[in-house]
């Protein structure tokens, strides 16, 4: 049991931004990072001196040093992709561990005591491997992550929906940087039940940026005749990201990137005006993709739009007016947007963390969830003389409310077959080779009999943390065997966690109190790249005088020079 005096962190580990929160006096509170900001970019960069930078400074370096910087690695969680940053190889798990570690340190600095446990949110569509990798990343960051909850479920907790007295059904639409989730929830007498969840793991605010960028890249290609250097693309992309956000409040914006260094050493001044209507035409295919999972989730929940009482919008990208309009049109009601859309999930994680720590300030809640993927085994079938193998036989269907336990009976296919291989897959395809293998084991001791005579019951039990237990029973002998699927792709053994932890500790980090200085410099350098003429000269001088102040090591003059540099960088950003 966790003592209420050692609270558990609630962490939203986002594709673009991450947040950390705790429950204080019954209210979820977002904790600031070393720069005083509530949102920490999920960005990692290796600095020129080999030290690791996380957050805003790393994000700024995506412009000046794209080859040393990793962004949006949450999209690759659970895969073997290796990010090569300035000669170092880091996996999505390592990169996530670095972000989690920095959030833990921020929380510790804000509250003055250590933390060793966290509730971390993941998209509803994350599969087993991704959830397990998230847990492992937590362990490497020095945080025990017992409880992983779906982001939309966390959002509902943040809105306090579990405290509603009246029964109600609602949809949570969560459009973040890289993922889109739709969850249909039902609240009855203080319990939240997830009726269905659907989503698109490859659709988010980033895609809206890519749509703005695509015609610009074509234009650059026409200018320079071939593919552009990464640095030019990174600069153009950053300008599109800013334009997209400004378009949420303005009907027309300008994209200006002077002196883009194109292929073949050509320089190009990018100047483009874009109207909201024009952007929305570019975004139409993405908006259609938003509708698909909404229809699917409602179908799975066997509900019609008009049967829903509420619609919640969360995720930074729901600030886009076209997304609000789409939701209003589909559901025939104005969605709730009272909480900052990028903070609601972290707040909900803190509520869940409070529940877990038995904080008396939160009422008891029984939350059920649904299996995001169908789970089943590979089976074989004899068609005449041919044995067809690798058929996916579902046992626990996608959308099943969990915790759940389901059993299916299978029979032997061969004469005197004494063993079967139970290969567990997740996915939605009829053929196993298109689904993901989670684990494999052999059941022996089947009595020798003619084909089809021996029956084997296979039971899948799936719990709220995504742990799958497989139990096989040979019906004629009653012999039973139980396995927890351990061989999940990406799962680390304890000694591997230890090794990864040691590798992380070998990395060099900037001292926390130097981060505001390092970030100011990285941001100014990123701005410097964009400028020309007099503005560039003035910023260059200011950067030089800040470096001088840093060398002087006199805290008050460093702080003064930093404030001046930050003010100028910000002024030039808006220019
Ligand atoms: P999240 O993962 O919830 O932090 O959402 C991040 C996404 O929200 C990114 O793609 C941001 O560009 C996007 N976003 C944040 N603020 C705005 C805004 N004002 N307008 C449009 N998109 C935004």
Same domain, residue pair 455 and 540? no
Is position 541 annotated as part of the catalytic site? no
pLDDT in tens, 103-144: 999 999 999 999 999 999 988 767 777 888 999 999 999 999
Task: At 508, give phi and psi (nearest 5°).
Answer: -95, 135
Task: Name the closest-CA residue to atom 7, ligand 1.
Answer: 177
Pocket test for ligand 1, best of 207, 245, 274, 341 (most atoms within 8 A of CB): 245
Instruction: Examine residue 497 and state whether it is found in any structural domain, yes or no.
Output: no
Domain boundary among 335, 370, 405: 370
Same domain, residue pair 47 and 106? yes
Give residue for tokens 């990692």. 44
pLDDT at 172: 95
Cα 116 to ligand 1 centre (Å) = 30
Cα 63 to ligand 1 centre (Å) = 19
Instruction: Examine residue 499 and state whether it is found in any structural domain, yes or no.
Output: no
pLDDT at 369: 67
Residue 574 pLDDT exceeds 60: no
Contacts of 197 (CB under 8 A, 6+ apart): 124, 125, 150, 152, 181, 182, 183, 184, 297, 369, 370, 372, 399
Q: Which residues line ligand 1 (CB under 6 A)?
A: 14-17, 176-177, 204-206, 241, 244-245, 248, 315-317, 319-320, 342
Pocket test for ligand 1, best of 175, 317, 320 (most atoms within 8 A of CB): 317
Residue 354, helix vs strand vs coil: helix
pLDDT at 360: 45
Same domain, residue pair 269 and 323? no
ω before 80 within 30° of 0 (cis)?
A: no
| Nearest atom, ligand 1, residue 241 CA | 12
Smallest CA-to-CA distance from 7 within 105, 141, 119, 101 is with 119
pLDDT in tens, 275-303: 999 999 999 999 999 998 899 889 888 89
Is position 174 annotated as part of the catalytic site? yes
Residues in the chain: 575
Instruction: Examine residue 505 and state whether it is found in any structural domain, yes or no.
Output: no
Residue 418, helix vs strand vs coil: coil
Domains in the chain, number:
4
pLDDT at 66: 93
Same domain, residue pair 255 and 310? no
Question: Rounded CA gap, 109 and 103, in Å?
Answer: 10
Same domain, residue pair 104 and 37? yes
Instruction: Examine residue 78 and state whether it is found in any structural domain, yes or no.
Output: yes
Same domain, residue pair 359 and 276? no
Residue 163, helix vs strand vs coil: helix
* 188 HSE (CA, 13 A, CB side): 5
Question: Rounded CA gap, 403 and 194, in Å?
Answer: 11
Same domain, residue pair 161 and 222? no
pLDDT at 160: 86
Domain boundary among 311, 344, 370: 370
3-state SS, one letter per residue, for 109-138 = HHHCCCCCEEEEEECCCCCHHHHHHHHHHH
pLDDT at 330: 95
Same domain, residue pair 75 and 148? yes
Cα 248 to ligand 1 centre (Å) = 10
Question: Rounded CA gap, 191 and 291, in Å?
Answer: 28
Question: Rounded CA gap, 100 and 393, in Å?
Answer: 38
Question: Rounded CA gap, 63 and 178, in Å?
Answer: 19
| pTM attached to this predicted model | 0.76
Question: Rounded CA gap, 101 and 59, in Å?
Answer: 17
Domain boundary among 250, 282, 314: 282
Give residue for tokens 């234009």. 219
Longest dimension (CA), the chain: 89
Same domain, residue pair 277 and 297? no
Residue 391 pLDDT exceeds 70: yes
191-211 in b/e form (b: 16+ CB < 10 A) is ebbbbbbbbbbebbbbbbbeb
Instruction: Examine residue 340 and state whether it is found in any structural domain, yes or no.
Output: yes
Question: Rounded CA gap, 192 and 363, in Å?
Answer: 12
Query: Can you give the C-alpha Rg of the chain in angstroms?
Result: 26
Which of 18-32, 137-151, 518-532 reaches the highest mean pLDDT? 18-32
Instruction: Examine residue 382 and state whether it is found in any structural domain, yes or no.
Output: yes
Same domain, residue pair 346 and 399? no
Same domain, residue pair 395 and 353? no
CATH number, domain at 425? 2.60.34.10
Smallest CA-to-CA distance from 366 within 188, 206, 103, 111 is with 188
Per-residue CA distances from 417 to 422, 451, 471 (Å): 14, 7, 19
Contacts of 218 (CB under 8 A, 6+ apart): none
Q: Is the dihedral of CA 355, 357, 360, 364 positive or negative?
A: positive
Task: At 299, give phi and psi (nearest 5°).
Answer: -60, -45
Residue 363 pLDDT exceeds 60: no
Instruction: Examine residue 230 and state whether it is found in any structural domain, yes or no.
Output: yes
Cα 239 to ligand 1 centre (Å) = 14
Same domain, residue pair 17 and 71? yes
**120 neighbors 14 (Cβ within 8 angstroms):** no
Pocket test for ligand 1, best of 173, 175, 177 (most atoms within 8 A of CB): 177
pLDDT in tens, 207-243: 999 999 999 999 999 888 888 888 789 889 999 999 9
pLDDT at 265: 84
Cα 218 to ligand 1 centre (Å) = 25
Instruction: Examine residue 506 and state whether it is found in any structural domain, yes or no.
Output: no
Spot the catalytic one: 76, 105, 174, 343.
174
Query: Which residues form the domain of 209?
Result: 205-282
């Amino acid at each position: 049991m966790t003592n209420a005096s050692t609270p558990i962190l609630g962490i939203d580990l986002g594709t673009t931004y991450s947040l950390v929160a705790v429950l204080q006096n019954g209210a979820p509170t977002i904790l600031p990072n070393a720069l005083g900001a509530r949102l920490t970019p999920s960005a990692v960069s290796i600095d020129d001196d080999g030290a690791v930078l996380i957050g805003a400074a790393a994000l700024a370096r995506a412009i000046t040093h794209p080859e040393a910087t990793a962004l949006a690695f949450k999209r690759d969680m659970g895969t073997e992709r290796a990010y090569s940053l300035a000669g170092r190889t880091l996996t999505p798990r390592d990169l996530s561990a670095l972000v989690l570690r920095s959030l833990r340190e921020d929380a510790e600095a804000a509250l003055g005591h250590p933390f060793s446990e966290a509730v971390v949110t993941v998209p509803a569509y994350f599969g087993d491997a991704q959830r397990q990798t998230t847990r492992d990343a937590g362990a490497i960051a020095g945080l025990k992550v017992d409880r992983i909850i779906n982001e939309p479920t966390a959002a509902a907790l943040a809105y306090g929906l579990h405290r509603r007295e009246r029964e109600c059904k609602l949809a949570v639409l969560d459009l973040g940087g890289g993922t889109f989730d739709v969850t249909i929830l039902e609240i009855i007498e203080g319990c939240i039940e997830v009726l269905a969840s659907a989503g698109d793991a490859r659709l988010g605010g980033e895609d809206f940026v890519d749509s703005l960028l695509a015609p610009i890249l074509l234009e650059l290609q026409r200018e320079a005749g071939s593919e552009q250097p990464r640095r030019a693309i990174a600069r153009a992309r950053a300008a599109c990201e800013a334009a997209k956000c400004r378009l949420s409040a303005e009907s027309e914006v300008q994209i200006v990137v002077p002196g883009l260094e194109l292929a073949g050493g050509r320089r190009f001044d990018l100047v483009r005006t874009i109207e909201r209507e024009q952007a929305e035409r570019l975004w139409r295919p993405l908006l259609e993709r938003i509708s698909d999972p909404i229809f699917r989730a409602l179908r799975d929940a066997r509900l019609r739009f008009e049967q829903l009482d509420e619609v919640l919008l969360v995720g930074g990208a729901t600030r886009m007016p076209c997304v609000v309009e789409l939701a209003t049109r589909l559901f025939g009601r104005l969605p709730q947007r009272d909480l900052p859309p990028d903070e609601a999930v972290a707040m909900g994680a803190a509520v869940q963390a409070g529940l877990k720590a038995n904080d008396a300030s939160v009422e008891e809640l029984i939350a059920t969830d649904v299996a995001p993927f169908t789970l089943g085994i590979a089976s074989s079938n004899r068609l005449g003389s041919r044995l067809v193998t690798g058929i996916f036989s579902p046992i626990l269907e996608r959308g099943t409310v969990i915790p759940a336990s389901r059993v299916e009976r299978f029979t032997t296919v061969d004469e005197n077959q004494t063993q079967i291989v139970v290969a567990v897959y997740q996915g939605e395809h009829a053929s196993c080779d298109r689904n993901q293998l989670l684990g494999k084991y052999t059941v022996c001791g089947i009595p020798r009999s003619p084909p089809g005579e021996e029956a084997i019951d296979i039971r899948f039990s799936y719990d709220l943390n995504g742990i799958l237990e497989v139990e096989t029973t040979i019906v004629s002998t009653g012999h039973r065997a139980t396995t927890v699927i351990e061989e999940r792709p990406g799962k680390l053994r304890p000694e591997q966690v230890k090794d990864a932890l040691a590798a992380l500790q070998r990395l060099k980090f900037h001292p926390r109190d130097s981060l505001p200085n390092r970030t100011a410099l990285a941001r100014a350098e990123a701005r410097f790249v964009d400028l020309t003429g007099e503005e560039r000269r003035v910023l260059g001088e200011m950067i030089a005088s800040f470096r001088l102040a840093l060398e002087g090591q006199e805290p008050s003059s460093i702080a003064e020079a930093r404030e001046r540099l930050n003010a100028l960088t910000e002024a030039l950003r808006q220019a």
